[in-house]
A and B are shown apart, each in its own frame.
Chain A
């Protein structure tokens, strides 16, 4: 997982940002490799979903806080009854979205339980 870090204030951004919202012009943005590890801050279970996600429902959508402190909204790949607040998770590479059967396939980061 590659994000960015502001060298001025130390904040880490994922998805990567090219401008630090705190330091603005004084921020110095560099590439930063995140550990990909974090925990679930809060979550909800999605029962009704649009066509392309219908096969996956119910699925878990959560806000994850990474070890580096940055937060992101993401899918947790697990059964709805498995997830809990504070659950340790780690990033995985998955399909985020397929544009029908003929369009682009978008790949990116999701999370799975990291209980081992």
Chain B
């Protein structure tokens, strides 16, 4: 059965509190934090970017379980902040883990769902018997223009998944997607920061697609929300996934383990991969996980995942840092230092 062989996550150490950003822009901190359900967000170091996150997450995955890098024949990195406009992040990862040169690679873009699109591609290649292992990574160092609403949540981090057939720690029983052409969020070539349709874009964007893909998954599998132990939804803020879960009939209890946005911010392509990693950090054999990502533009990918005994026998989770441990290891920045980290002020 096709599934997850191993996984790894990476969250940079620096944080800024939403109230510190609000202070600088004269916003009402309590109102903004309450409205978004976000308290703080992860910020990259000067020498970190999507490629370094992708490499660190992948190395963590390979520390947890030995996989011969020569058997990894495909790497896909999903992000909207690839370090280069032209030159793939995926080969940087391949080189860093010793998988080059006998492999295929490509960078994916689909706003915040590029990472889950990579998992689907990896599943196809492995499922078709074209290779033993393929890696899919979702990582971002998300951009929000100074003073824009996005700046309060745009965060940094990522997670990597090795997909294969032999002894997966979690079987992916099914995946399905819901996609339409919806201009709710975009960034034109050469623009530094994305633009968005504002507060009314949630319904035709996020909710239509997340609910659409999730309902399709439940119908395809003949399951109901209560059949799952955990659910992870894309989390641009804390409100959207809570509302989507409630509308679908998932409880707040089912989503809380994978709902990281309050302490992490929105890591865009990293968000659902990191939420799933937080669940896998604590999951037991037999646990069922329901996943629905969302990428503006727009589309959602849903996954039905069941954890196997291999999570105890075939992988040593303690050999890579847990999402919770990385969230706890936080160093706080003030806005001036944060702006330098993000390159918002040229020095």
Contact = CB atoms under 8 A, between A and B. Distances in A.
B98 A96 contact: no
B52 A94 contact: yes
A93 B83 contact: no
A93 B56 contact: yes
A59 B8 CA distance: 28
A105 B96 CA distance: 14
Given A107-B51, A107-B52, A56 B46 contact: yes
B84 A105 contact: yes
B56 A92 contact: yes
A95 B45 CA distance: 10
Interface string A1-21: 010000000000000000000
A95 B50 CA distance: 10
B92 interface: yes
Interface in A9-43: none
Interface string B45-62: 111110110011001000
B92 A107 contact: yes
Contacts, number: 38
Chain B contact patch, size range = 10 to 19
Contacts of A95: 46-49, 51-52
A47 B322 CA distance: 34
B347 interface: yes
Q: How large is the interface on A (under 10, 10 to 19, 20 to 34, 35 or more residues)?
A: 10 to 19
Interface string A80-98: 0000000000001111100
B340 interface: yes
Contacts of B83: 105
A92 B44 CA distance: 14
B96 A93 contact: yes
Contacts of A96: 47
A110 B98 contact: no
A54 B347 contact: yes
Which of B47, B84, B96 has the most chain A CB atoms inside 10 A of its CB?
B47
A93 B59 contact: yes
A2 B47 contact: no
Top-7 shortest CB links A-B: A93-B55, A95-B47, A94-B47, A56-B46, A55-B347, A93-B52, A55-B46
Interface of A: 2, 54-56, 77, 92-96, 105, 107, 110
5 contacts: A55-B340, A56-B46, A94-B47, A95-B51, A96-B47
Interface of B: 45-49, 51-52, 55-56, 59, 83-84, 92, 96, 98, 340-341, 347
Given A55-B46, A93-B56, A93-B96, 16 more contacts: A56-B46, A92-B56, A93-B55, A93-B59, A94-B48, A94-B52, A95-B47, A95-B48, A95-B51, A105-B49, A105-B51, A105-B83, A107-B52, A107-B92, A107-B96, A110-B47
